Structure 1
Amino acid sequence: MFYKQDTQESLFHFDDNNEFTHCGVMTIRKNTGLPAKCTLIPVPEHNLINERCYFINNKWIKTELFIGRFYWDEEANLKVIKSVNQDIPESYSFIEPPEAEEGYAVRLVNNKWKKLEDHRSKLIYSISDCTKFEVVEQLGQIKDGFTLKEPATPHDEWIDGSWVTNESNRYIAEYNAVDERRRAAYRNISDPLYMESIRKESNGLLDEARDFKAQADEAVKLIQLENPFPIMVDI
């Protein structure tokens, strides 16, 4: 639009980012139009500290999300707005989050900063069965029925807030394990020697039979020496 005569107008100016910069009265000369990067549309009232106005699609947009402003996302990461159309997370805050102590993480919850327990990647153990465990994946208190305390043995029981080893169960389990190892060794080592001794004896080769039996007896002693039974602990 060109003016037919000299006219004074109140102009509202904006920069290359379309952000309002200033306003002022200017005389528009006859047969000329408005200067670049300005409009006759009045800028809305806004807080000069926390708000900015942008001239977009022939209208002013008032926003607190202005270029150059810092904010924190819900995980307390510091971000900066670089453009008017920049995607902003749904949850954010302009308030600086507090420092998180060791073992905690700061998160934005219902628009407020909260310190949440951070046990992620740690193991938690079922207090009803110490052999069952899980890896913590979420922030916050650990799930009910679990503890961060690691049991000392697979035979521990949760009593009064601590793991206590059931010595009877441990003895039985360790005894059975040793017994299985001994039996396997007997089958593979001493039993064939005893069988060969019997075969030699049945064929009248008594000296050879005695030699094989002696080897078998020594094998049994070695197997038992290398696989001692556990000692029962008095409770």
Structure 2
Amino acid sequence: MKYWTIDKDIREVIGSGDTDKWNMPRNVLLVEPLPAKAGFAVVAKTDLSGTEYVADHRGKTVYNKAKPLDSKQVKELGEIEDGWTLTQPPHQYVTWNQKLDDWQTDSQAKYEAELQQVTDIRASLYVQIVDRLNNEAKMIRRVEGNEAKAAEYEAQANAAYLQIRADNPWPEVPTV
């Protein structure tokens, strides 16, 4: 006699066997289950009278529509819970667009982050290079009294300042 074994907790069909009716294991399915289907688990009905398909996203990562940087692994059978999606956000500057059922770039947030990044890079380079050259020029002027040498350092500081700006341009303002 053919039977199908099921997981005792979630009733998922996990195997099959053959035996006589006297050696039949407990809690088995005696009707042939539905065929396997991609993205679904075959689960026995509560009364063991048949099977049904249940969405199976176990092991997949889902992303929070309200907080795109939050994610978690799916551990149980069933549909994805409300407020979560299987669609991975392309970057952190997105919001969920219900109409498109997809992520949409938050241009303003992206612009502000890029602007802050350029500001930070410029500030760091100014401190490391430009300010040091200007301070050296001031000290040469004050201590050595060598105006020509001080002017050379100031010219280097000015060139470095212009190069830093050229290498780190401001991002373009997003169009609304």
Could you tell me the TM-score, scaled by structure 2's length? 0.80
Quote the residue 2:167 is aligned against.
226
Quote the residue 1:99 is aligned against.
35
User: Once superposed, what is the RMSD of the aligned Cα atoms?
Assistant: 2.7
1:122-165 CA-partner distances (Å, limit 9, x unpaired): 22222222222222122210111112222233121223233222
Q: Distance in 2 between matches of 1:189 and 1:101?
A: 63
Deviates more, 1:221-230 or 1:178-187: 221-230
Question: Number of aligned pairs?
Answer: 167
Q: Following TM superposition, by how much is the alpha carbon of 1:86 offset from its aligned partner in structure 2, in angstroms?
A: 8.1
Q: Distance in 2 between matches of 1:86 and 1:217?
A: 91
> Aligned match of 2:87 in 149, 168, 174?
149
Query: Could you tell me whether the CA contact under 8 Å between 2:57 and 2:74 is conserved in 1?
Result: yes
> Aligned match of 1:78 in 15, 29, 45?
15
Larger strand percent:
1
Quote the residue 1:210 is aligned against.
151
Is 2:115 aligned against 1:175? Answer: yes
Larger Cα-atom Rg: 1
Q: Counterparts in 2 of 1:1-235, with a 5 A limit?
A: 70-74=3-7, 75-80=12-17, 88=25, 91-110=27-46, 111=48, 112-159=50-97, 160=99, 161-203=101-143, 204-235=145-176
Q: Distance in 2 between matches of 1:134 and 1:230?
A: 33
Q: Distance in 2 between matches of 1:113 and 1:163?
A: 36
CA distance change for structure 1 residues 221 and 120 in 2, over 3 Å: closer, same or farther? farther
Q: Distance in 1 between matches of 2:75 and 2:51?
A: 20
Q: Distance in 1 between matches of 2:172 and 2:159?
A: 24
Q: Following TM superposition, by how much is the alpha carbon of 1:176 offset from its aligned partner in structure 2, in angstroms?
A: 0.7
**Higher RCO (CA 8 Å, separation ≥ 6 residues):** 2
CA distance change for structure 1 residues 197 and 113 in 2, over 3 Å: closer, same or farther? same
Letter in 1 for 2:153: F
Q: Following TM superposition, by how much is the alpha carbon of 1:118 offset from its aligned partner in structure 2, in angstroms?
A: 1.8
Identity value in percent: 26
Letter in 2 for 1:73: I
List gaps (5 residues or longer) in structure 2: none
Letter in 1 for 2:14: N
Larger helix percent:
2
Q: Distance in 2 between matches of 1:143 and 1:228?
A: 43
Q: Distance in 2 between matches of 1:71 and 1:222?
A: 73
Letter in 1 for 2:163: L
